[in-house]
Amino acid sequence: MFCFSGQSQESDLTQTIISMPGDDVVLPCHVDPPQDLSQFTVEWGRPDLKPRFVHVWHNQKEYLADQNKVFKGRTSLFNDKLKDGNFSLKLSDVRHSDNGRYRCYNPKEKTEYFIQLLVDLHHNYRSSASSPAVSLSGLDVSSSGVMLDCSAAGWYPEPEMFWLDGDRNIMSAGPAEKSTDPDGVYTVSSRVTVEKRNNNNFTCRVQQRDVNQSRETHIHVPEDKPTKNIHNVTISHVCKISFFCYCFLLKYMRN
């Protein structure tokens, strides 16, 4: 549990709290030595949000006029504990979007402490995040290269996706496309055009640096690439269509 002190201006440590979606969680914060906080202005905030305010105590009462709307009706203090220096925050009905770094701040003393809330990162989403699915999508006519597609679903928090060549060098593929479902869970996809090389092995990698999670899928493009196959398929389709047209025309002329 973090605590304020008259000498310390800022904590060098961040305490981590792990919660599951739908749970209620307490973010701890208190002063040491104990003092009556009901007479102070004390603020809970999320620096990455606008407005940043999660819950504020001011003029001996809760002040929620500037509260970020995503927390409306879900935050509360232990009012009977304020006189003992306890400014812990209760966050109800935890959501995926609550994942983040929270600041407990006393403006008068200019002291602040941080809590990192991780929502479901070490449970459901570590197991439900899919490995990237890689497929050959066709030919790039302008470069005669082969287009590879990659997609992965069920990732949270936001992942990054990139391609590696056979020597594990990052390839230029442009920014990945990302979308979220109503719970804020990510689906990410990317396309890259590759040229014929001595080693036609490629890797699509998805990773989350903050939680040290990554998955990757490898694909080998044949030496002759799928160019020949794709051309053969196209010619085959043209031949079939021509044959049916010929049969139809012949039947029509006989009638």
Would you call 29 exposed, middle or buried from its count of C-beta atoms within 10 A (0-12, 13-18, 19+)? buried
Question: Cα separation of 238 and 43, whole Å?
Answer: 71
| Domain stops at, among 62, 94, 119 | 119
pLDDT band at 252 (very low <50, low <70, confident <90, very high): low
Report which listed range, 41-50, 100-109, 196-205, 241-250, is most confident.
41-50
DSSP β-bridge partners for residue 219? 202
Question: Cα separation of 99 and 150, whole Å?
Answer: 27
83 within domain boundaries: yes
Is-contact 111 9, C-beta < 8 A?
A: yes
Q: Please report the pLDDT score of residue 123 as a whole number.
A: 55
Is-contact 36 44, C-beta < 8 A?
A: no
148 within domain boundaries: yes
Tell me: pLDDT of 136 over 80.
Answer: yes
pLDDT band at 234 (very low <50, low <70, confident <90, very high): very low
Q: Residues 6 or more apart from 110 whose CB is under 8 A from it?
A: 9
**CA quadruple 48, 50, 55, 59: dihedral sign:** positive
Stretch 90-96: mean pLDDT: 93
Q: Please report the pLDDT score of residue 24 as a whole number.
A: 94
Q: Please report the pLDDT score of residue 64 as a whole number.
A: 93
Stretch 198-225: mean pLDDT: 83
Q: What is the pTM of this model?
A: 0.48
90 within domain boundaries: yes
Is-contact 96 184, C-beta < 8 A?
A: yes
pLDDT band at 238 (very low <50, low <70, confident <90, very high): very low
251 within domain boundaries: no
**170, 171, 155, 163: which is closest to 211 by C-alpha?**
155
Question: Cα separation of 189 and 179, whole Å?
Answer: 9
- If one counts the domains in the chain, the total is 2
Tell me: pLDDT of 162 over 60.
Answer: yes
- Considering the domain architecture, whether residues 83 and 155 belong to the same structural domain is answered as no
181 within domain boundaries: yes
Tell me: pLDDT of 235 over 70.
Answer: no
Tell me: pLDDT of 10 over 80.
Answer: no
Residue type for position 114: F
- Considering the domain architecture, whether residues 74 and 31 belong to the same structural domain is answered as yes
pLDDT band at 149 (very low <50, low <70, confident <90, very high): very high
Q: Which structural domain, as residue segments, surrounds residue 134? A: 124-234
CATH code for the domain in which residue 193 is found: 2.60.40.10
244 within domain boundaries: no
C-beta atoms surrounding 193 within 10 Å: 19
Q: Residues 6 or more apart from 209 whose CB is under 8 A from it?
A: 160
Q: How far is CA 136 from CA 133, 139, 148, 162, 184, in A?
A: 11, 9, 5, 16, 29
pLDDT band at 250 (very low <50, low <70, confident <90, very high): low
Tell me: pLDDT of 89 over 60.
Answer: yes
Residue type for position 247: C
